[in-house]
Every structure is written in structure tokens, then in C-alpha cells.
Amino acid sequence: MHLIDFLAGWFAGGLATAVGYPLDTIKVRIQTQNMYSSVWHCIRSTYQREKLRHGNSDGKPSRLDVFIAGCAAGTAEAVVFAPIDLIKIRQQNQTHPHQSYQGPLSHGLLSNPKYRGPIHCLITVLKEEGICGLYRGITALWLRDIPCFGLYFVTYSVFTEWLTPQGQHKPDWSAMLLAGGCSGMTYWILATPMDVMKSRMQMDGMGQQRYSGVLNCITESFRQEGMRVFFKGLSLNCVRAFPVNGLTFVIYETVLAFLKKINLKD
């Protein structure tokens, strides 16, 4: 238990340092250098001189740049997504009546569901489990999305580069569809094991708590069900991922190109 507490504290401390470090750098530069007229001037100057690898935003990012950006996106996404995902998981799993229901099951399994809707689910979780209840399973979500988001965007970058004809700057829509679909499948192949753990921990608050933490969830799930537990739902995730992510990137690239044309005209 002490090891789990240490790892959780280490992870939280490292994440907090990573989040606060950029502003700490700006603070130190303002304190020690007289070349900046304001905080915003320091941020803008630092970004232009040091963050843009090629001196401008048109330069092609390296694979490492794409991976780091994807990891950062996964970190931020989990903070916003965790409560919404928990509410979705809880409602999707309402296949049995609430424990207070005493009637015969023949009346229907959902005779008295615990949650009457997403708002009621949100209020109930806050009342019974507090604000931390909404973030149950966020460690598993971070372990899933931080590395997998990084590899997700790297995969898309690699496939679009392979599928772009020589002499062209970008692939056509069919190539983007294929690249997006492959990146989506890659994401879920890597993410499904931790996705299973995340979903189990999110459901843990509905009844008797079974898991003390993400490591306990992993070890107990493996002990009871073996290696196959980490790949539950993988085939369904991949079947869903290809069209969804392919279409997502096609729409993204199309809208981005449209907005760039409008900006150039202005």
C-alpha cells in the first residue's frame, strides 16, 4: 500500500512540475533579465526564439515533437474527459435494478435504475463520492491516453507521409482516411488493456469497492481472469476505430485547409 501511495505521489508531483515549469521559466527570466516589457512579451519572445524548431510555424515537426504534443494532449484531455466518461460508463452499465429495488425481476431489470439520466448521475456521484468520485480511474486514464495519444499522432504522421505522392504537400482524402483509420486502430491496440482497467475502476463506486488502486485492479483482474482480461473488447474497439478516426482526420484536414484559404484571402 505504501508503494502505491509513493507511486501515486511521485506521478502527481511529476505532472504538477511539468504543468508549472513553463511559467516558472518565465518568472525566472523576468526576475533576472531586463529585456522584457511584460509577462506576455517574455512568453512570446521565448516561444519565437526557442520553441519553434525552424524559426517559424511552417516548419515540419519531428516525430519526437509530434509524440510529445500528443502526450500533452492526452494529459489535458483526461482531466476534462474523466468525469464525462465516468457518467457514460455508469449509465451504460445499468443492467440491473438499484439495490433498493425489492420487486420481482420479471418486471424488468431496469425497473428502478440508480441513475435517471446524466445530470442525475452527476449529482448522485457528487453526493455519494464527492468530487474525487468523478475522477475515479483517472490514473488508469492517464496511463492509457498519455502514451497512446502520442503514438496515435505519430502513426498518423507516418502514414500520411508514406501515402503522399512525391511532389505533393499533402495526401488526398482517401489516403487521410486510411491513415486516420490505421492510427485509430493502433491507438486501441495499445490502449485496450488500460481501458479495461479504467472502466472497472469507474464502476467500482456503484457498489462495494473491489480495488484499492490501479495496480490492485491490474493484479486482481489478471489473477482472476488471466491475460485475456487485458484484451476484452479489442476487436470491437478496432472495428469502431477505423471509420471513426479515418473520418475524423478527413474532416479535420478539410476544415483546416478551408480556414487557411479564408485566412489567405483576408
Identify which has the larger pLDDT, 105 or 8: 8
Q: How confident is the model at residue 22 (pLDDT cuts 50, 70, 90)?
A: confident
Residues 32 and 145 in one domain: no
Residue 173 in any domain: the answer is: yes
Domain range for 167: 66-78+133-265
Q: What's the predicted TM-score (pTM) here? A: 0.69
Lowest mean pLDDT among 11-20, 98-107, 109-118, 131-140: 98-107
pLDDT of residue 253: 87
DSSP 155-212: HHHHHHHHHSPTT-SS--HHHHHHHHHHHHHHHHHHHHHHHHHHHHHHHGGGSS---S
Residue 2 in any domain: the answer is: no
**Of 212, 202, 91, 222, nearest to 144 (Cα)?**
202
Residues 23 and 144 in one domain: no
- 243 pLDDT exceeds 70? yes
Lowest mean pLDDT among 22-36, 51-65, 231-245: 51-65
Residue 160 in any domain: the answer is: yes
Residue 119 in any domain: the answer is: no
Residue 51 in any domain: the answer is: yes
Residue length of the chain:
266
Residues 258 and 140 in one domain: yes
Q: What digits encode the pLDDT tens for the residues 195-221?
A: 999 999 888 866 667 888 889 999 999
**Of 93, 85, 76, 75, nearest to 122 (Cα)?**
85
Grid cell listed for 175: 489516403
Residues 72 and 188 in one domain: yes
Residues 41 and 172 in one domain: no
Residue 99 in any domain: the answer is: no
Task: Kindly state the percentage of the chain with pLDDT values over 70.
Answer: 78
pLDDT of residue 102: 40
Q: What digits encode the pLDDT tens for the residues 151-168?
A: 999 999 999 989 888 877
Q: What digits encode the pLDDT tens for the residues 175-193?
A: 999 999 999 999 999 999 9
Residues 197 and 219 in one domain: yes
Q: Report d(CA 215, CA 140) in Å as an integer.
A: 9
Please name the amino acid found at residue 30: I
Identify which has the larger pLDDT, 145 or 31: 145
Residue 83 in any domain: the answer is: no
| Overall number of domains in the chain | 2
Residues 206 and 224 in one domain: yes
pLDDT of residue 93: 81
- 263 pLDDT exceeds 90? no
pLDDT of residue 246: 93
